[in-house]
Amino acid sequence: MARTDFRTPRLFVDTALGLGAAVAIDKPQANYLLNVLRLRDGDAVLVFNGRDGEWRSTIAGGKRHATLALTEQTRPQIPAPDLHYLFAPLKHARLDYMVQKAVEMGVSRLAPVVTRHTQVARVNLDRMRANVVEAAEQCGILALPDIVEPASLDKALAARDPARLLIFCDEEAELQDPAAALAAHPKGPLAVLVGPEGGFAEDERTALLRQPNVLRIALGPRILRADTAAVAALTMVQAVLGDWH
């Protein structure tokens, strides 16, 4: 496995990458590289697009016509873990944090789920996307998670693949060892669901427990805020059933 370079600036670009290609960059990206970082022609920048691996490039064209000339592939593309994260949307700053941490934890799909007690009615998907890109740029991540449109809990459950284990985090669950509960299941496609801070309504909890291939767990003896629960749940899942081995 190629070692990640954290010393060279890293940039997401939404264009095909290949040896010898010249990648145009937009004005905000050029401003960041040339004015904020004070890079010049010939300086190195790592680029990735979530599909073609990571490439080393050099800046060319000066401030007026800056492009990135690709010189070599530094890391091949690898898929993200098959891990979906379903969550009740939060308010701006805490949603930003949660999305960034989910990306860092290796989630491959982000799915907002609207429940009875969800406090946020609208989700800014463009803002979510910006946070995904920022986290991937900073943490050396190659595969960006998909972001799906918000859906009601009923619709999300109706659309789910029953072959994918749904790990349902519920503060009302009988306290048990969540690691042991997870370890009893074979490895395979995973989904983690964290609800709103108001908790699930009783009929929602009943609907979840009626689903096939669902594991209900508590996240310890303390009540966690939803963004904290995201980190705790994804850490536990990745450590026991994910790619932390």
Confidence of residue 104 (pLDDT cuts 50, 70, 90): very high
Same domain, 68 and 159: no
Average pLDDT over residues 11-24: 93
Q: Does residue 200 belong to any structural domain of this protein? A: yes
Q: Which residues on adjacent β-strands are paired with residue 70? A: 57
Distance CA 144, CA 132 (A): 7
Same domain, 91 and 36: no
Residue 75 is given by DSSP the state E
Average pLDDT over residues 29-43: 92
84 pLDDT exceeds 70?
Answer: yes
Please state the domain count of the chain.
Answer: 2
Distance CA 48, CA 15 (A): 9
Same domain, 40 and 120: no
**pLDDT for res 63:** 77
Same domain, 100 and 158: yes
List pLDDT tens digits, range 169-220. Answer: 988 888 778 999 999 999 999 999 999 988 899 999 999 999 999 999 998 8
1 pLDDT exceeds 60?
Answer: no
Confidence of residue 40 (pLDDT cuts 50, 70, 90): very high
CB 118 within 8 A of CB 199: no
Same domain, 58 and 92: no
Confidence of residue 65 (pLDDT cuts 50, 70, 90): confident
Q: What is the CATH number of the domain that holds 197?
A: 3.40.1280.10
Distance CA 237, CA 158 (A): 23
Same domain, 98 and 145: yes
CB 27 within 8 A of CB 63: no
Q: Does residue 158 belong to any structural domain of this protein? A: yes
**pLDDT for res 2:** 61
Same domain, 42 and 108: no
For the chain, the average pLDDT equals 93
User: How far apart, in Å, do the first and last CA atoms of the chain sit?
Assistant: 15
Q: CB under 8 Å to 168, separation ≥6 — which residues?
A: 193, 208, 209, 214, 215, 216, 217
**pLDDT for res 64:** 77
Confidence of residue 92 (pLDDT cuts 50, 70, 90): confident
Higher pLDDT, 166 or 170: 166
Same domain, 15 and 34: yes
Q: For residue 62, what are the domain limits?
A: 10-75
Residue 222: alpha-carbon gap to chain centroid? 25
3-state SS string for 4-62: CCCCCCEEECCCCCCCCCEEECCHHHHHHHHHHCCCCCCCEEEEECCCCCEEEEEEECC
